[in-house]
Amino acid sequence: MARNINALYTDVCDRSRRIALITSIESTLYWDQSVYLPPQGGDYRAEQTAYISGLTHECWTDQRFGDELEELVGSELAADPDSDSAVVIRKLKRARDKKTKLSQTLVEELTRASILGQQAWQEAKRASDYAKFQPHLEKMIALKREQAQAIGYTDALYDALLDDYEPETKTAEANAVLVELRKQLVPLVANISESKKKSPHEIVCRRFPEAAQATFVVEAAKAMGFNFDAGRLDVTEHPFCTTMGPKDCRITTHYYENHFNAAFFGVLHEAGHGLYEQGLKAENFGLPVGEAVSLGIHESQSRLWENFVGRGLPFWRHFFPAAQMAFSEALGNVALDDFYFAVNDSRPSLIRIEADEATYNLHILIRFELEQDLLGGALTTTDLPGAWNEKYEKYLGVRPKNDAEGALQDVHWSAGLIGYFPTYSLGNLYAAQFFDQAKKDLGDLDERFAKGDFSTLREWLRENIHKHGQRYSAAELARRVTGRPLSPEPLMRHLNDKFGALYGF
Amino acid sequence: MARNINALYTDVCDRSRRIALITSIESTLYWDQSVYLPPQGGDYRAEQTAYISGLTHECWTDQRFGDELEELVGSELAADPDSDSAVVIRKLKRARDKKTKLSQTLVEELTRASILGQQAWQEAKRASDYAKFQPHLEKMIALKREQAQAIGYTDALYDALLDDYEPETKTAEANAVLVELRKQLVPLVANISESKKKSPHEIVCRRFPEAAQATFVVEAAKAMGFNFDAGRLDVTEHPFCTTMGPKDCRITTHYYENHFNAAFFGVLHEAGHGLYEQGLKAENFGLPVGEAVSLGIHESQSRLWENFVGRGLPFWRHFFPAAQMAFSEALGNVALDDFYFAVNDSRPSLIRIEADEATYNLHILIRFELEQDLLGGALTTTDLPGAWNEKYEKYLGVRPKNDAEGALQDVHWSAGLIGYFPTYSLGNLYAAQFFDQAKKDLGDLDERFAKGDFSTLREWLRENIHKHGQRYSAAELARRVTGRPLSPEPLMRHLNDKFGALYGF
């Protein structure tokens, strides 16, 4: 019996929206767990989450869903590749195909390895004893190879993993821009290190009362355009942004009374993610045309607001007087230029999450290179700590004293997140290239920022990036918005100009 | 094929636990909605909640669940009525039978009438225009009669509705104690009204800074034994207590800077509910042996802590010095006896939720009498406001000036909660009778409270009431714990003694 194609398409959309609904409930459980769950509530929360995950899995793997997508892929609804229906059909089929390629056994093994791996990693990091973690990493690498084989790839095993976070971007493409970025970053960082000029960094390490930080940063997030009627800001240990519905986006932060930068730029970062989520079309919630393109594009939105707007001098021309009022004890007698240099202190360091704008990408590139070598077999898990330390010495000129601040630093590998790291740097590259284009399209943004006008930029991002959802791949989106493929040039130009001026080279 | 009875029982327990798991997720969504949901998040939250409710409904109505319970009811696992397995089988069968007796159409009509009824009630109350609400109440009464017919009853239609909130308690039993209670309360309240002694009530209406209230009340809840490692206290518009897992019980409150009583006794009340939830056996979570008996028994626990402990002089012998420190501006120069009289101010009033310990039950008994008459046909919805006002005049000696403070006062009827009101007063009677017994069993509780020892009472409640879950019906539990059936005598004795001493009669 011939089925009506439109009815099929409606059913497929309903399924996609139902998956999003269930996922949004899981996000609510996760948000509560991170922000308010009582200490003893964790075990049952895990049961609740496992149950909800199981529901999502059932929805994805339903055979009728697959049959319907198969039929739709060849229909006229998929003919114009940029149409809503074609995007929905193509992206859902792609996502479902990937999910059904992994056996139930492999999924369960990966889940177990991730849980055990994270436990072992925590202990190993606490004891700074890499040997405790090494067998778990060995196991994880083997499972991720198996996963990549099951998914399939053309050039590199790594392609299949990268695709989970940066869909349709190939390892070779990422390497092309990121290796070039590394080559240009190393001499920039060396220049900063060797500069005689030093940032008056202690200014941002004075006392910034938590309540005043909270009020001040909400004002900044509102000025960016984060909609607090459709979102919240709460306090958590490890800040994040999560979406619990088309009009419910939650960001979090962590205040440190003796460090202004952490919460302030952290909130600009999360609010940048939040603006992307709030800029997706609400009526498309739960469909690929209403969802973010990739982690790289998502990160471009957070980094653009955090670094290109928030760490810029024009932003502070507007906000510094208010900051002086809010933190009169710390900033009352500080000059704007000194404050600007203080928030932009740059120096080679060992810890990724504390790294500044200039050095940050080298931390990422080290991880990206190492995880490719681990997966491809050029590097054994036993040799990882040594390789890590050598790259830190070579690229940043610093060497970890122990593995806790070396190869055990991040949770990602223990949790099976391999292929995730490069999206941070791709995000920085996309941010620079988008911001460059925005300035070309909108004229003098510096002057607008200095006047407190951030809505012009926000609307440009909404119009050019947010509203498309997954209509275009990340690479295609960059080409359409900026007229050229992704390149390290805009980011390097920005960094060389900014840090050259600050550090005098 | 003969099935193994133990395997059947295990399956039935798994189903019960799964229903509890899904319900706990719904509670999480509800809690978040009441406490933190951004204003625009409501529509999607309704979709999430409807989806989760649907899952619970599917679990309950699964025919295999019914077949398994049918088989178990006649098995040896149900032989000893007080055994865990017999309780689980009996209570689940009872609950499932009730759910399956209602047609899908009736359930949907009730849901719709409740939503529309609450909207109409809100508007009617705002305009103090009963006519706007009357057709909705008429419709609701008709549907509740239909519900009662579908469920079935032996004596009164009302039995079938009361059973939803106070299972296994008959209308005649409730009337026997509550009519007698009313007869004895009316003269007590008249004595208080006519007394020349007046409470120095303004003391508790001075300025009590919110932050100080929050700190102080948490200390009181901790002293009661509310476990904040397995629970939380947050701020909401309409305070409640909800359980989101065996180790996750959340209570809420609302602070008023110019009224000490509201939040303080409100938190003791909710923490009393919370202690019951935390006193149920965690390993029985999701099974009837791990769940509360009835709303009346639940309310007995909240009222016991709120009124019999918290509004007592011994409690304040311990806490008043700390209160004077916390609220030095308001209480620094106040004598303990004056403060005690101030928190126990009693006077006939129109608003139930603001009523004091002595007058409160008359508010309930008015509603209980009226809803029985509405359901039985002795009173029309058109005549309700007049009947309401007459009863207020007759029992409390006050008369509403308009329907907003009269028949439109509470949300319950608009939401279809008919049969709910009497559980408040049953709770007060159970509280008095349990507290009486605790004093007999434990000796001088006054002295313990004055020393800050509340754990002796808490452990007694845990041992005698909480740990049994639904093993015994409410009436049976009262008989077992106190050696006699529920009676108005302990409550009236308590009220006459306390208010006689305060008001000098």
Encode pLDDT of B293-323 as tens digits. 999 999 999 999 999 999 999 999 999 999 9
pTM of the complete model: 0.94
For the segment B21-38, what is each residue's pLDDT rounded down to a tens digit?
A: 999 999 999 999 999 999
- Distance of alpha carbon B64 from alpha carbon B70, whole angstroms: 10
Q: What pLDDT shows up at residue A48?
A: 95
Q: Tell me if residue A405 is catalytic.
A: no
Out of B25, B39, B230, closest to residue A41 by CB: B230
Identify the closest residue of chain A to B30 by CA–CA distance.
A28
User: B interface toward A at CB cutoff 8 Å?
Assistant: 18, 21-22, 24-25, 28-29, 32, 36-41, 43-45, 47-48, 51-52, 227-232, 234, 244-248, 285
Task: Give B4's DSSP letter.
Answer: P
Length of chain B (residues): 505
Q: Which chain A residues contact residue B232 at CB under 8 A?
A: 36, 38
Q: Which chain A residues contact residue B51 at CB under 8 A?
A: 18, 21-22, 25
Q: Do B232 and A36 touch (CB under 8 A)?
A: yes
Give yes or no for a contact between A264 and A298, defined as CB atoms under 8 angstroms apart: no
Output the CA torsion sign for A308, A310, A312, A314. positive
Distances (CA, A) of B333 to B203, B319, B364: 10, 15, 37
- pLDDT beyond 50 at B1: no
pLDDT tens, residue order, chain A (505 aa)? 346 999 999 999 999 999 999 999 999 999 999 999 999 999 999 999 999 999 999 999 999 999 999 999 999 999 999 999 999 999 999 999 999 999 989 999 999 999 999 999 999 999 999 999 999 999 999 999 999 999 999 999 999 999 999 999 999 999 999 999 999 999 999 999 999 999 999 999 999 999 999 999 999 999 999 999 999 999 999 999 999 999 999 999 999 999 999 999 999 999 999 999 999 999 999 999 999 999 999 999 999 999 999 999 999 999 999 999 999 999 999 999 999 999 999 999 999 999 999 999 999 999 999 999 999 999 999 999 999 999 999 999 999 999 999 999 999 999 999 999 999 999 999 999 999 999 999 999 999 999 999 999 999 999 999 999 999 999 999 999 999 999 999 999 999 999 999 999 9
Helices B360-376 & B130-151, crossing angle to 10 degrees?
Answer: 70
- Distance of alpha carbon A264 from alpha carbon A262, whole angstroms: 6
User: Token pair of A499, please?
Assistant: 């840090």
Most distant CA pair in chain B: distance in Å? 80
Q: Do B40 and A229 touch (CB under 8 A)?
A: yes
Identify the closest residue of chain A to B231 by CA–CA distance.
A38
Q: Do B244 and A41 touch (CB under 8 A)?
A: yes
Q: What pLDDT shows up at residue A3?
A: 62
- Distance of alpha carbon B304 from alpha carbon B429, whole angstroms: 10
- Distance of alpha carbon A352 from alpha carbon A350, whole angstroms: 7
Q: What pLDDT shows up at residue A1?
A: 38
Main-chain dihedrals φ then ψ at residue B248, nearest 5 degrees: -150, 90
Alpha-carbon gap: A227 to the closest alpha carbon of chain B (Å)? 10
Out of A22, A32, A248, closest to residue B41 by CB: A248
- Distance of alpha carbon B133 from alpha carbon B121, whole angstroms: 6
For the segment B192-205, what is each residue's pLDDT rounded down to a tens digit?
A: 999 999 999 999 99
Q: Do B38 and A232 touch (CB under 8 A)?
A: yes
Out of B24, B28, B247, closest to residue A28 by CB: B28
- pLDDT beyond 60 at B89: yes
CB hemisphere CA count around B217 (13 angstroms): 29
> Which residues partner with A241 through β-bridges?
A251
Q: Which chain B residues contact residue A38 at CB under 8 A?
A: 228-232, 247-248
- Distance of alpha carbon A221 from alpha carbon A269, whole angstroms: 10
Distances (CA, A) of B108 to A342, B22, B99, B114, B338: 62, 20, 13, 10, 53
Active-site entry in A270, A277, A306, A357: A270
Out of A28, A229, A232, closest to residue B29 by CB: A28
Q: Which pairing describes strands B231-235 and A248-253: parallel, antiparallel, or unpaired?
A: unpaired
Look at the block and give the residue holding tokens 């309700």: B384
Give yes or no for a contact between A291 and A243, defined as CB atoms under 8 angstroms apart: no
Neighbours of A353 (CB within 10 A): 11
- pLDDT beyond 70 at B3: no
User: Token pair of B300, please?
Assistant: 């007995």
Give yes or no for a contact between B407 and B388, defined as CB atoms under 8 angstroms apart: yes
- Over residues B174-184, the mean pLDDT reads 98
Interface with A, mutate which of B36, B227, B228, B233 (most A CBs under 10 A): B36
- Distance of alpha carbon A438 from alpha carbon A444, whole angstroms: 10
Q: Which chain A residues contact residue B40 at CB under 8 A?
A: 227, 229-230, 247-248
- Over residues B433-439, the mean pLDDT reads 98
Would you please indicate which residues of B are annotated as catalytic (active-site) residues?
Answer: 270
Out of A25, A234, A245, closest to residue B25 by CB: A25
Helices B171-194 & B157-165, crossing angle to 10 degrees?
Answer: 80
Q: B320-344 as b/e, with b when 16 or more CB fall inside 10 Å?
A: beebbebbeebbeebeeeebbbbbb
